Amino acid sequence: MTNLIKIAVRNLFRYKRRTLLTSSLIAFGVVLVIVFGGLAISFKTQMVGVITNTALGDLQIHRKGYVESIDNLPLNLSLSEAEYAVVESTLQAMPEIAAYSPRIKLGALISNYAQTSNIRLSAVRPELEQATVTDLVKRIRRMDPNQDHFLEPGEIIVPENLMKGLELTMGDEIVLIATNKDGSVNGIPVRVAGVIESVLGPMGKDGYIHFTDAMSLLRMEQPEIIEVAVKLKEFDELGRVYGALKQTFGSPQAVEEVHTWEQLSPFASIASIVDLLVIVVKFILISIVLVSILNIMTMSVYERVSEIGTIAAIGTPPRRILSMFLVEGFSMGLLSTAGGMLIGLGIIWLMNVTRIDFKFGPMEVSLAPSVPASEVILTVVIVMLVSLFASVQPAYKAAKLEPVDALGHV
Amino acid sequence: MSLIELQNVTKIYDTTGVSVEALKDITLSLDKHSFISFIGPSGSGKTTLLNLIGSLDKPTQGKVIVNGTDIAILDRAEAAAFRGSTIGFVFQNFNLIPVLTVYENVEYPLLMLKNIGVRDRRQRILTLLEQVGMIDQKDKYPNQISGGQKQRVAIARALVTSPKIVLADEPTANLDHATAFKVISIMHDMQKTFGTSFIFSTHDPKIVGEAELIYTLEDGVIVSQDNKQRRQS
Ligand SMILES: Nc1ncnc2c1ncn2[C@@H]1O[C@H](COP(=O)(O)OP(=O)(O)O)[C@@H](O)[C@H]1O
Ligand SMILES: [Mg+2]
């Protein structure tokens, strides 16, 4: 075997330029997969992280039919106190759940007495909200940063675009006006206590007020929960927990419905496009490897016909000739992948050192690409298998050569 | 029983639709430890004959029995194994493996047989390289040595597996006269030293002088047989 490898490697270096060219091509493909894959995975995890950790939560529970008409922010599709208690006890019984936060979602008018605009509001209990969407506070700039909570009763956190649009400044007194589900209009004064930067998707441009303020604005006697955001201990458990919750809340007689962030955020489709692109890049790599190895091995066999005739004549078994060429193609793939892997990981390392910041829509994203070891191993295995596969036909052709014919071929 | 037995051997090539009768009803028996030459003009059937003896090809009719084996019944893998153990080849174009050094070229057939220990292997290769006068060139690659030197390496390679027979098809056709003589005389020395039968072909009547037995081929038929003793007396 070592002898086969020795012969294979020497044969590869016999045509240095050609080998170098082909292996650069394969290495380039590997670099592409590693770097692009690293960037894509990093982009995705960052974005998903921002969306789930600063706005949506991992899962949400609503009254049945709410998500269908979510754009209207219907106030009549809410969970009563008793119904919410059922949801709570279910969530508390599940060890995978880290936290949950009840919300009232409403549309309102916001006025600084000179100008008026529309605003979407999430009314929350700050301590529960903070435990559920842990990075929300990072998006918020308060006038007095040393508070325990990002929100007190009587305060509003205004989205940055409205802050500019209404020319508000911190500490301004404004009024919120809303219609409740029975059609009666009410207004409450609140104080601008902070600005929140926007993110992609639903809730991305919501303002925040305290739960109790929403109750009085909408003249609720009892809390009426519109939305329950849920955070899991392990994000990877999402599928399983979702399944379990669907069992409980998905039955026809249940009043609740459960959705994952993917069903609620338009980013889920961007994420699947990114996944698709990564697959496409992998296919490109496979084609590159297939075509280059097939090409170089076919040329190798063709150029060395009389050499194959010689080794066959002096007694080399056909199977050994077959493996000689398989080893040659495989070594080619191996050397190229090793090179590509080193370069690819090097580029990723450089990117981590230099850090790429860019804006995706309204969001600041800082890419620190990383490739999971499993991805790297998968790439290597793919290239190895494809190299071997691409060598089969030329190698078989070599093994099939009749020594008399091959020797006569000059 | 003789080492090589040809019984009514006919070989017809039918590749291009035109059939060519390269050998016509040849019956021949060749002994061990001999130094034999087939001579004849180009196209007379020398290569065809050596290919049959070397189990590289099969007769259209008749039997070829080499060292007790009927070569017609061997499949590809068996024929390869048979050649590896029984026959050594020396080619007109030397056919050394360009990526292997002189030493490694001689070693190559031994690695194919696999049953010889490293030290014995090394010993045997060095002895042979010594005997063909190539020991000081052992680390060179084929493109760094001359034609005559390549053929010496090829002779060492043919002998390294201790075959019963070495077949050399026009081994001197690509060499100048002086070198050709030298190569033939090395082959003869090897034949005497190892007792291996050497069979070589040539179209050049001048270099067969050393052969003990000379067959002349013409149009696929052996037209004369000549041995050294008779020539000398
Ligand atoms: N593969 C082949 N296909 C068809 N005809 C062949 C083939 N090999 C040899 N011949 C023919 O067989 C005859 C003998 O050829 P060969 O044995 O090569 O002669 P020599 O080696 O004496 O020159 C020639 O007429 C040649 O053209
Ligand atoms: Mg010939």
Work out the pLDDT band at A410, boundaries 50, 70, 90: very low
Which of A405, A100, A337 lies closest to A225, judged by CA?
Answer: A100
Query: What pLDDT digit, counting tens, does each position of A151-166 carry?
Result: 999 999 999 989 998 9
**Atom of ligand 1 lying closest to residue B220 CA:** 14
pLDDT, mean of residues B23-30:
94
Whether residue A148 has pLDDT greater than 80:
no
Do the beta carbons of residue A334 and residue A328 sit within 8 Å?
A: no
Give the three-state DSSP class for A167. coil
Amino acid residing at A235: F
**Dmax of chain A from CA atoms?**
101
Mutate to test the interface with A, among B48, B78, B92, B97 (most CBs of A within 10 A): B97
Chain B residue with the nearest C-alpha to that of A319:
B77
Whether A5 has a pLDDT exceeding 60, the answer reads yes
B229 Cβ inside 6 Å of ligand 1: no
Q: Which of A21-35, A189-203, A250-264 has the highest mean pLDDT?
A: A21-35
To 5 degrees, how large is the angle CA A391–CA A393–CA A399?
Answer: 95
Euclidean distance between CA atoms A177 and A183, whole angstroms:
12
Residue B202 beta carbon below 6 angstroms from any ligand 1 atom: no
Summarised one tens digit per residue, pLDDT across range B146-160 is 999 999 999 999 999
Residue A183: burial class (beta carbons within 10 Å; 0-12, 13-18, 19+): exposed
What is the C-alpha to C-alpha distance for residues B200 and B91, in angstroms, rounded to an integer? 10
Calpha distance B200→B171 (Å, rounded): 7
Question: Positive or negative, the Cα torsion across A319, A321, A324, A329?
Answer: negative
Residue A315 backbone dihedrals phi, psi, to 5 degrees: 110, 10
Share of chain A above pLDDT 90, in %: 60
Task: Look at residue A197 in the predicted model and tell me its pLDDT.
Answer: 87
Q: What is the pLDDT of residues A275-312, one digit of tens each?
A: 899 999 999 999 999 999 999 999 999 999 999 999 99
- Asked if A311 has any chain B CB less than 8 Å from its own CB, the reply is yes
Q: Assess contact for A35 and A347: CB atoms under 8 A.
A: yes
Both tokens of residue B218?
Answer: 């013409």
pLDDT digits (tens, 9 = 90+) for B88-101: 999 999 999 998 99
Nearest CA in chain A to B54: A313
The sign of the CA dihedral A83, A87, A88, A89 is positive
ipTM above 0.90, yes or no: yes
Predicted pLDDT at A292: 93
Are B70 and B63 a contacting pair, CB within 8 Å?
Answer: yes
What is the tens place of the pLDDT at every residue in A210-224? 999 999 999 999 999
Cβ distance of B112 and A316 shorter than 8 Å: yes
Between CA A374 and CA A358 the distance in angstroms is: 27
The pLDDT confidence band at residue B206, using thresholds 50, 70 and 90, is: confident
Shortest distance, CA A398 to any CA of chain B (angstroms): 13
CA distance A29 to A8: 23
Q: Is the pLDDT of residue B233 over 60?
A: no
Chain B contact present for A7, CB below 8 A: yes
